[in-house]
Chains A and B, each alone.
Chain A
Amino acid sequence: MIWSIAWRNVWRNRLRSSVVVVAVTLGLLAGVFTTAFMRGLSEKRIQDAIRTEISHIQIHMPGFSDNTDFSMFIPAASGLADTLNGIDVIAAATRRIVINSMIASAETGTGVMITGVDPGQEMRVTNIHEKITEGEYFRDYRSNPPVVIGEKLAHKLHTGTDRKVVITVTDIHGNTVQGAFKVAGIYRTDNAGFDERNVFVRFADLAGMTGFHPSGAHEIAVRLHETQETDRAVGMLRELRPDLEVLPWQETSPELGYLTSAMDQYMYIFVMIILLALCFGIINTMLMAVLERVKELGMLMAIGMNRIKIFFMIMLESVFLSLTGGILGIVAGYLISKYYQYHDIHLPVQWVEGFREIGYSATVNTITDLPMVFIIALMVIITGVVSSLFPAYKALRLNPADAIRTDN
């Protein structure tokens, strides 16, 4: 019966309770939607990074990542790449040469990471070829080997397609060598920083220029059919080649590895702040509800309703009040998030450039997460309980004899 009394008590002052319910609804709608939005944003960032930048797994000689020494190459890498291409969880594997270098146009120069790729295989691992905005993903020129550069770098170098750039690298003997390349294509990813730093040439051209072993590689990049298979595939590859360093994407890019969990933590803090703000509204409403019912509460104590039950009743009222709005907000937020899971959210144009600078794309889909929704619902219940403590304490301090006196 106490449950039903508490529920009806919530609706004694319909307007006042409705205001709180609406506030809680909006707060949680915002909380749930923002959570799903941020999840989507970070998941998109991770998938984009895997697809265009780092691939699922990278294989190097041990220690290569720490010092990109020319000599640290995987011998007989082409054979290994062929083997990998035959493994079922692996969608494709490709060899690369990776060297720090200088690139210069007629006007200016800068330091970049130059990657020698086998275009045919590379296209099966990363999707830079889909990001070409001008020119094409490698073509043959009569005079010079082709190079593909990022849009940001092209701007920086004041260069464009079909124009010449000079790349300076150190060869395997430690001599500085220079080569003139022609810009075959300009790409643009969602990560402007990546575009500025990464230059692609053909494996054979770079190997020829530097004397790199034609069947070796600094790096083998592996794309899997499913991101969830990463751990399993890494285990397999480590077993296959214990002499090599096999890095999953989370280790190639630790900040991406932490992104989801860090984002989740921020979101919980965000929701907690919303609930904290709502908490004051609920406390205020509950306090009013207690103070205007002093005589009734005194009567209940007088006839023998004990303090635990009074406390429980007030706590339930507070929980019902917050949970009504909480459930409405969570359900609405969940449905809206579900909708935008399948329909793109286009970020406002004025944000897009700024987002691109830090690697985020202009369209986002929300990602809904049922466990998170339940945790948020639990947080709402806790908020209701916490909000009831002070009003309930006020109620329990009532002296029934004073409370029911009619002559005051």
Chain B
Amino acid sequence: MNIIEIRNLHKVYNTTHVPVYALNGIHLIFKEGEFAAIVGPSGSGKTTLLNIMGGLDEPTQGSVTVAGTDIFSLGQRRLIDFRLQHIGFVFQAYNLIPVMTAGENVEFIMHLQGRPRAERITRTRELLTSVGLADRINDRPNKLSGGQQQRVAVARALASKPRFILADEPTANLDSRSTENLLDIMEQLNIGEHITFIFSTHDPRVVRKARRVITIEDGKVSQDQEKSSGS
């Protein structure tokens, strides 16, 4: 089943000087259970693409359909709720609320969804366990390493039971050990629980883990390569 269908996506940033053509006609389809990397040089449009796929920014032209819903036909208010219910996000940085503990950060998104407290508490513990941070549940982000913070962010993204998780350069700020650790956890979740991950990177070690690699250059898909799993 297709969970994301991207058709003829264009994005032009109207800066004060010249318009920037960030995306120039992107067609992509993602299926449930994918573990896909979007690669490309800096400025090629990876962040722009992920932002539009996640409904954070509007395209100049084209459409994004998530599980049958054209997300830009929803209107601002319903789009925010759609993100809350269906899309998980992991950003490069500033993922966590610094005044909340790791557990509270994970729990908070379920609170926004209006889930009952008992469910939130058990699920938070399960999720932090699955990213290997059960013992850090009561620590605030500033007590955690960068890699641990990103793992909390993954747990947080999973907490809302989204259709897929978008991660824009999740390892860009991490050292190689933390990078590997985070990727292993993402891979386990993908294989074990069929969580769909779509992440951007320009780190070759991360690319190697992906089962599908989409290369974009100058706002266009220049290569879309499927690998057989376990390569």
Q: Do the beta carbons of B100 and A5 come within 8 Å of each other?
A: yes
Q: Do the beta carbons of B99 and A406 come within 8 Å of each other?
A: no
Shortest Cβ distance from A295 into B: residue = B94
Q: List 17 A-B contacts (CB under 8 A).
A: A295-B93, A295-B94, A299-B89, A299-B91, A299-B94, A302-B89, A303-B109, A303-B157, A304-B81, A304-B83, A304-B84, A304-B109, A304-B160, A306-B80, A307-B77, A399-B57, A401-B56
CA distance A232 to B81 in the complex (A): 64
User: Which residues from B are CB-within-8-Å of A296?
Assistant: 94, 97-98
Q: Given A1-B104, A304-B160, A8–B99 Cβ distance below 8 Å?
A: yes
Contact residues, A288-305 vs B (CB, 8 A): 295-296, 298-305
CA distance A154 to B94 in the complex (A): 82
Nearest Cβ in chain A — how far from B50, in angstroms?
A: 10
Q: Does B219 contact A (CB under 8 A)?
A: no
The digit string for B83-116, where 1 denotes a CB below 8 A from any CB of A, is 1110001011111011110001001110111000
User: Which residues from B are CB-within-8-Å of A305?
Assistant: 80, 84, 112
Q: Do the beta carbons of B99 and A12 come within 8 Å of each other?
A: yes
* Count of A-B residue pairs with CB < 8 Å: 73
CA distance A9 to B98 in the complex (A): 9
Q: Do the beta carbons of B95 and A299 come within 8 Å of each other?
A: yes
Which positions in A face B, CB cutoff 8 Å?
1, 5, 8-9, 12, 295-296, 298-307, 309, 399-401, 404-407
CA distance A356 to B210 in the complex (A): 90
Q: Does B51 contact A (CB under 8 A)?
A: yes
- For the complex of A and B, the 6 pairs showing the least CB-CB separation, nearest first, are A304-B84, A401-B57, A8-B99, A295-B94, A401-B56, A401-B51
Q: Given A5-B97, A304-B109, A400–B91 Cβ distance below 8 Å?
A: no
Q: Do the beta carbons of A406 and B92 come within 8 Å of each other?
A: yes
Interface size class of B (residues with CB under 8 A): 20 to 34
Q: Does B148 contact A (CB under 8 A)?
A: no
CA distance A399 to B91 in the complex (A): 15
CA distance A309 to B172 in the complex (A): 31
Q: Given A1-B104, A1-B111, A401-B57, A302–B94 Cβ distance below 8 Å?
A: no
Q: Do the beta carbons of B108 and A307 come within 8 Å of each other?
A: no
Q: Does B54 contact A (CB under 8 A)?
A: yes
Q: Does B179 contact A (CB under 8 A)?
A: no
Q: Does B150 contact A (CB under 8 A)?
A: no
CA distance A399 to B112 in the complex (A): 20
Q: Do the beta carbons of B93 and A406 come within 8 Å of each other?
A: yes
Q: Does B215 contact A (CB under 8 A)?
A: no
Q: Does B44 contact A (CB under 8 A)?
A: no
CA distance A304 to B89 in the complex (A): 10
Shortest Cβ distance from A400 into B: residue = B56
The digit string for B68-84, where 1 denotes a CB below 8 A from any CB of A, is 00000000010011011
CA distance A406 to B47 in the complex (A): 10
Contact residues, B32-72 vs A (CB, 8 A): 47, 51, 54, 56-57
Q: Contact partner of B77 among A9, A295, A300, A306, CB < 8 A?
A: A306
Q: Do the beta carbons of B93 and A303 come within 8 Å of each other?
A: no
CA distance A401 to B85 in the complex (A): 18
User: Which residues from A are CB-within-8-Å of B91?
Assistant: 299, 302, 404, 406
Q: Do the beta carbons of B93 and A304 come within 8 Å of each other?
A: no
CA distance A74 to B107 in the complex (A): 84
Q: Which of A8, A307, A309 has the most CB of B within 10 A?
A: A8
Q: Which of B81, B83, B156, B172 has the most CB of A within 10 A?
A: B83
Nearest Cβ in chain A — how far from B69, in angstroms?
A: 15
Nearest Cβ in chain B — how far from A293, in angstroms?
A: 9
CA distance A301 to B87 in the complex (A): 13
